[in-house]
Amino acid sequence: MSIFEIAEHFFKACESGEGWDGCAKYCIPDATFSAEASGLDALGTLKEYADWMGDLYDNVSSASYKIKGFAADETRDTVLAYAVFSATPKNKEKTFSTNYVYSIEFNGEQIIHVTKIWNDGYKIWND
């Protein structure tokens, strides 16, 4: 598989709330994670982030994502994924949407690091 295809499979598993169980086969066991979002400060491994995404699904209903762009830079072993995540928190009646980008880095056919570019304080609340 190409890094593009691997990144697509990883992205789908992560964004569908499958947690590390669904993501691990695409990553090295000690893959790292970073973000400049205060809500994700404590997370340093991709396993922690994937499980955080899985836990998110316990607190929301009607969660979904829409991919806006997906591109591979084979020279730099990196895939960029731009998407919009939408969900309704269980304690709210309104749905929110939020934009984010993943920079997914590879060594061969395995993910070694993911950076999430996301302003976790900015959400668009829908009626």
- Arithmetic mean of pLDDT, 1-5: 96
CA distances, 9 to each of 78, 94, 123 (Å): 15, 30, 26
CA of residue 1 relative to chain centroid, distance = 20
Q: Is the pLDDT of residue 62 over 60?
A: yes
Please state, in angstroms and rounded to a whole number, the distance separating the CA atoms of residues 80 and 55.
Answer: 24
Q: What is the pTM of this model?
A: 0.92
CB of 114 closer than 8 Å to CB of 104: yes
Q: What is the pLDDT of residues 6-42, one digit of tens each?
A: 999 999 999 999 999 999 999 999 999 999 898 899 9
pLDDT value, residue 91: 83
What is the dotted CATH code of the domain comprising 3-126? Answer: 3.10.450.50
pLDDT for residue 126 is more than 80: no
User: What average pLDDT does the chain have?
Assistant: 93
What mean pLDDT is predicted for residues 64-82? 97
Give the tokens for residue 56: 């998110």
Per-residue pLDDT tens over the stretch 103-117: 999 999 999 999 999
